[in-house]
Structure 1
Amino acid sequence: MPRRSAPTPPRRCRPRARPRGVASLILPSDVCWDAGGKVGVPLAPLPVPKVSPDAIQQAARVLRSGQPTLIVLAGTALREAPLADAHRIAAATDARLITPMSNARVSRGRGRFNVDRVPYSGDVARDKLAGIRNIILVGAPPPVTFFAYPGKSPRPYPEDAEIHVLARPEQDLAEALARLADELGAPMVSVPASVASRGIAKGAVTSEAVAQTLTALLPEQAIVVEESVSFGRAFYPGTVHAAPHDWLQLTGGAIGDGLPLATGAAVAAPGRRVVALQADGSGMYTLQSLWTMAREKLDVTVVILANRKYAILLGELAGVGANPGKTALDMLDIGNPDLDWVQLANGMGVEAARAEDMERFAELFSMANVRRGPFVIELVI
């Protein structure tokens, strides 16, 4: 066959807007062995698009209407400075603030403004958002329940509520909130005083007890990676007064992201302790992340929440009115045989220990956070 002519070198390109997605470069095989090629100079990033004056004024009109209004924040609106501006707006207008249930990153803890999440339970979410007349979106989609249920709306807000868009995800969310606060003449507000820690919890392992101990012992500027699924419902609301930290989650519905997300966070932010709150069932999807943590000597404290079942799916079966038989229930049981996370972690080169009460958990958690490298705590529920 005739030799294929060399392709024209690809032109440098860059994403045209945020949020940036995956960029694919397709090249012939001989680039692996042929000589040639020059490293290009990176292009300057494109400026983040700003929202229009009309969008600011429309949101201000809605907020001045006196009708019950909900502001839904997502993306970069959940960083420290834009959250402060959002609270200025809420204080000046009596609007309510909320975020989707799952967010890529939230800046939170003592000295920072808190923001509630849309509850996981559709019924609880509908009760929480009852009476809302207007919803203003800031980098967020309209709220929706995580699963659909027979005879129930997937929208947790009233059917007659009006949706307004202040800013789309690719726009400058922080700048939009600051401009809206200024448009409303909203004065600066102080962060509410933190409640004194109740100290470490004692006794039986519960979601609330773990949250209490995390509040008492979480290191300053920690990165919390949360894939606690069903057991961890108390973790987010119960750690409002913990040391300042970032809270990371998967934003979709897959499971198994917690351990690789913690690995990436530790690589990206050396010097900050990463705490991974990991359900045992979803942790089995990406167990090999522990080996990477050991190989790279990453400062990660992994807390395995070992209830030895897919409890989230048991709850969802009940939610749709299903009556599963033994075969279906056996598929959601990961306790026959029991997983031994201490041995699993050791096999990946990570030190580990087991806790069956809150006193032992606090002891191990304190120790793990001051040592170098990864450590796994199997917390038996």
Structure 2
Amino acid sequence: MNGADMLCDVLLVNGVDVCFANPGTSEMHFVAALDRKPAMRCILGLSEGVVTGAADGYARMADKPAATLLHLGPGLANGLANLHNARRARTPMLNVVGDHASYHLQYDAPLTSDIESLARPMSHWVGRAAGAADIRRCTEEGYAAALANRGVSTMILPADAAWGEVSLETLAPAAIPTPPAIDAEALKASVTALRSGKRVVIMLAGRAMREKPVETAGRIAASTGAALFSTSSGRSARGAGRAFVRPVPYKIDLAVEALKDFEVAICIGGPRPVTFFAYPGKPSTTLPPSCEVIQLAEHEHDLAEVLAILADALGIKPDADFVRNRFTQDDIQVPTGALTPDAISFAIGRRLPENAIIIDEGLTSVGQYPVLAPGLPPHDHLPITGGAIGIGIPLAAGAAIGAPDRKVIAMQADGSGMYTVQGLWTQAREQLDVVTVVFANSAYRILQGEMTNVGVNAYGRNAQRMLDLDAPKLDWCSLAKGLGVEAGRATTIEEFVKLFDGALSRRGPFLIEAVID
């Protein structure tokens, strides 16, 4: 038995039975070990951004970590953007990054790099196996940290540690630290604020946006009059029958306007809301300067339990009623007219299946989905959490593997989709039940808007060529078919409705190129 076998066995005994991989020479002993472990499902990604993005989507839906297998520092570096998104989503995962044999590092071979320094900014835990005998400890520590920290762990596996012999051991699941207790003073301050008659907003983030904690938050809001808003959450429960939690708007002016009247903000699962970017003459935080901020709980807490404790402290019963979103899907008419983001969102909304998973990297093209979502059948919404574009296609692949009985609908901007278009190949290879809607506007539309936000209302050829994708135009149907995914192009809303309805009626991956203005 070698170190790579031990690594696989430790992963499996802890329930990590999916590995997203793009290996190289230094990882071949681990690949061989994976081949000896049929309980481990191995999924190949054709770029490391697909590997890390898919692992993120899987863990968000499966509620347990996946492993990734990456080739040395450059392979890790290729996947860092989506590790940034996973870090912001507080997604538990365990990256296994191969390295040269320890005795070979002194020769500074071409692929030698400082893997620890590359990993640290995007990881909540970084460790290196000192040898084959250290692999069990290192793997267990990384796995436990991923769950306790609610985040990314990166384990560096030297080749000689992987091929070194180890003794057969009896393994047991690693001990996971108990979530920290709620701060008594913060709880007291929250109860006081909610009873004070002041205008209070409860800011939910992370796992506080799951179904049960959202219900509890709804009961607190109904009882106290507090408003419910959400910030960054890797997975949010939306739809009819659930409490309405309003996302803080992306645009700074809208966010400031939405939050301007609040006197107290109780933050559960994340910090106070901040703007994505700095703009001349505008604030970096969107709450009023005079607003008191109470940090009741962080990501590491059991957020469902925190909200239950808060409700109990307020004397609110677990079965108390709350205002539930009304079901309005049947009110959505078949859209007509031009093929626009609004029309597409109506077409998606009127047919969204119950328990679907919405992947949201549509950016400027999601149309009216945020307005429609509360009245649609119950579903989960998985957004781009860290702002690093290129996660939509792999996130959809991972979500489909993590929840194989649920339909995945990916709203995908065309420019960001090109970052990890290889993920379509993984969808085809694994026959994943994903409908990808590409908003083909042939532009980085969000950047065009950002030019206006920074005060540039007119620009010339150089700037225009950095913001347009129309010379030449991308052919998404050809790209999809070349990667094994059946596709169709819609230039009218009638064509889109027909393609979308057909895609919902079958299993397996399908891509719709929606050519919009």
Structure 2 length normalisation: TM-score?
0.70
TM-superposed deviation, 1:368: 0.7
Q: CA deviation at 1:337?
A: 1.1
Query: For the residues of structure 2 that align with 1:216 and 1:76, how far apart are their CA atoms?
Result: 28
Residue 306 (structure 1) shift? 0.6
Q: CA deviation at 1:114?
A: 2.2
Equivalent of 2:499 in 338, 357, 364? 364
- Contact 1:214–1:242 (8 Å) recurs in 2: no
Give the aligned CA root-mean-square deviation in angstroms. Answer: 2.1
Q: What does residue range 328-339 of structure 1 map to in structure 2 within 5 Å?
A: 328-339=463-474
Alpha-carbon contact 1:212-1:239 (below 8 Å) kept: no
Match of 2:297 in 1: 167
Contact 1:103 1:251 in 2 (8 A): yes
Amino acid at match of 1:208: D
Q: Which residue of 2 aligns with 1:181?
A: 311
8 Å contact 1:277–1:302 — kept in the other structure?
yes
What letter matches 1:375 in structure 2?
A: F
Question: Is 1:74 paired with 2:205?
Answer: yes
Deviations 1:220-267 (A, max 9, x none): 211110001112152222222112111001211210100010010011
Task: Return 5+ residue gaps in structure 1 as ranges.
Answer: none
What is the CA deviation profile of residues 289-339 of structure 1, one whole-angstrom value per residue up to 9, with x for unaligned ones? Answer: 011111111110000001000010011111111243211111111011111
**1:56 and 1:166 in contact (8 A); partners too:** yes
Report 1:210-289 matches (<5 A): 210-289=344-423
Report what 2:182 is aligned to.
51
SS in 2 for 1:114: coil
Distance in 1, Cα, partners of 2:146 & 2:473: 50
Contact 1:227 1:257 (C-alpha < 8 Å) held by counterparts:
yes
Deviation at 1:172, TM superposition (A): 1.2
* Paired amino acid for 1:341: W
SS at 2:366's partner residue?
A: helix
Q: Distance in 2 between matches of 1:120 and 1:369?
A: 30
Q: Which has the larger helix fraction?
A: 2
1:165-193 Cα distance to aligned partner (Å, 9 max, x none): 11111111111111111221235124243
Distance in 2 separating the partners of 1:7 and 1:103:
38
Residue 436 (structure 2) aligned to one of 282, 285, 302: 302
Output the CA distance in 2 between the equivalents of 1:211 and 1:53.
Answer: 44
CA contact (8 A) 2:200 2:264 kept: yes
SS at match of 1:246: strand
Asked if structure 1 preserves the Cα contact closer than 8 Å seen for 2:414 and 2:440, the reply is yes
**Which residue of structure 2 lines up, in the alignment, with residue 346 of structure 1?**
481
How many residues are aligned here? 378
CA–CA separation in structure 1 for the residues paired with 2:168 and 2:157:
15
Instruction: Give the deviation of 1:138 after TM superposition.
Output: 0.3
**Displacement of 1:200:** 2.5
Name the amino acid aligned to 1:89.
I
Q: Distance in 1 between matches of 2:416 and 2:489?
A: 19
After TM superposition, the score normalised by the length of structure 1 is 0.93
The residue that corresponds to 2:337 in the other structure is 203
Tell me by how many angstroms 1:16 deviates. Answer: 8.5
Kindly indicate whether residue 150 of structure 2 is the aligned counterpart of residue 150 of structure 1.
no
Other-structure match for 1:109: 239
The whole-number CA distance in structure 1 between the counterparts of 2:512 and 2:395 is 18
Which residue type is aligned with residue 498 of structure 2?
E
* CA distance, structure 2, for counterparts of residue 325 and residue 236 of structure 1: 34
1:63 maps to 194
- Residue 164 of structure 1 aligns to a residue in which SS? strand
CA displacement at 1:363 relative to structure 2: 1.3
2:239–2:378 CA contact under 8 A, matched in 1: yes
Q: Which amino acid aligns with 2:300?
A: E
Percent of residue pairs bearing the same amino acid type: 44
2:321 aligned partner, one-letter code: V
Give the secondary structure class of the aligned counterpart of 1:346.
helix
* 293 and 192 in structure 1: CA distance in 2 versus 1, 3 angstrom threshold: closer
CA–CA separation in structure 2 for the residues paired with 1:308 and 1:7: 51
CA distance in 2, matches of 1:221, 1:374: 18
Distance 1:59 1:377, change over 3 A: same
Poorly superposed stretches of 4+, deviation over 6 Å: 3-7
Offset of residue 210 of structure 1? 2.2
Q: 3-state DSSP class of the match of 1:276? A: strand
Q: SS at 1:25's partner residue?
A: strand
* Pair 1:169–1:213, CA change in 2 (3 A): same
Contact 2:410 2:435 in 1 (8 A): yes
Contact kept in structure 1, 2:240 and 2:325, CA below 8 Å = no
Q: Residue 512 of structure 2 aligns with which residue?
A: 377
Does structure 2 conserve the Cα–Cα contact (< 8 Å) formed by 1:116 and 1:237? no
Gaps of 5+ in 2: 1-102, 105-129
Which region of structure 1 is more displaced relative to structure 2, 211-220 or 349-358?
211-220
Kept in 2: contact 1:258–1:283 (CA 8 A)? yes
The AA in structure 1 aligned to 2:211 is: E
> For residues 54 and 16 of structure 1, what CA distance do their matches in structure 2 show?
28
Residues 208 and 238 of structure 1 are in contact (CA less than 8 Å); yes or no, is this contact kept in structure 2? no
**Alpha-carbon distance in structure 2 between the residues aligned to 1:33 and 1:156:** 53
